[in-house]
Amino acid sequence: MIHSERSELANQRVLPVAREGYPLILGSALVTAVFAVLGLHVLTLFCLAVTLFICFFFRDPERAIPDEEGAVVSPADGKIVDVGVLQESDFSAEKMLKISIFMSVFNVHVNRIPDHGKVTEVNYYPGKFFSANLDKASRDNERNAVTLEISGGRRLIVVQVAGLIARRIICKIREGDRLSRGARFGMICFGSRLDVYLPPDAAPAVSVGDKVLAGTSVLAHLS
């Protein structure tokens, strides 16, 4: 599958951290250097610790993307909190398999595309900020839904859900982009939740409580 030029640029990095973290890292490093030059050792150590934390928070490691036909990979690091078939949802009047991943503040925050496909819709929904581990977060919280047309003309929907602390959803793609499985497409700061909606005949490969990694762990198999 060919990436769009836009998505290729979105995936180019100079450092193993998300681009959104560059300004904060550079700013914190500059303040650390100033305090070091002034001989303010306690403040220097404090700012150095802050700089290292920011690097950890925005880390974006490379991942080995499965090339197995029909595999759908996790869009986020975290823990599976829901697996089930819905008769309908806010995003589809059709029956779909829903798999939900809860991201903690300690997980990598970068989000990845679950499967090869073309972006047909990107829709933002304002909402509340309930704790993302609650089922009602999928319905009531602020969300950003990306719909993909995948093989066989089928639809796959991945929804970024804001949480109690995570109130900044970043999505770098737009309608018309063609993306490959595992491509980076955004992030949610301070952890939260991602919901994946699949055709009802998809076979789940995970259970509630499983730990998953974005771009690497297989959530389900498409027939």
Phi/psi for 205 (5° steps) reads: -115, 5
Number of C-beta neighbours around residue 23 at 10 A: 10
Distance, in Å, from the CA atom of 88 to the CA atom of 143, rounded to the nearest integer, reads 17
Verify whether residue 192 is a known catalytic residue: yes
Distance, in Å, from the CA atom of 179 to the CA atom of 148, rounded to the nearest integer, reads 9
Nearest to 89 by CA among 81, 80, 100, 79: 100
Phi/psi for 29 (5° steps) reads: -65, -40
For tokens 């802050």, what's the residue?
50
Distance, in Å, from the CA atom of 4 to the CA atom of 18, rounded to the nearest integer, reads 19
Distance, in Å, from the CA atom of 147 to the CA atom of 91, rounded to the nearest integer, reads 9
Tokens of 158: 């991945």
The catalytically annotated residue of 74, 192, 207, 223 is 192
How far the first Cα of the chain sits from its last, in Å, is: 19
The answer to whether 77 touches 212, Cβ cutoff 8 Å, is yes
Distance, in Å, from the CA atom of 205 to the CA atom of 221, rounded to the nearest integer, reads 7
Q: Which residues are catalytic?
A: 192
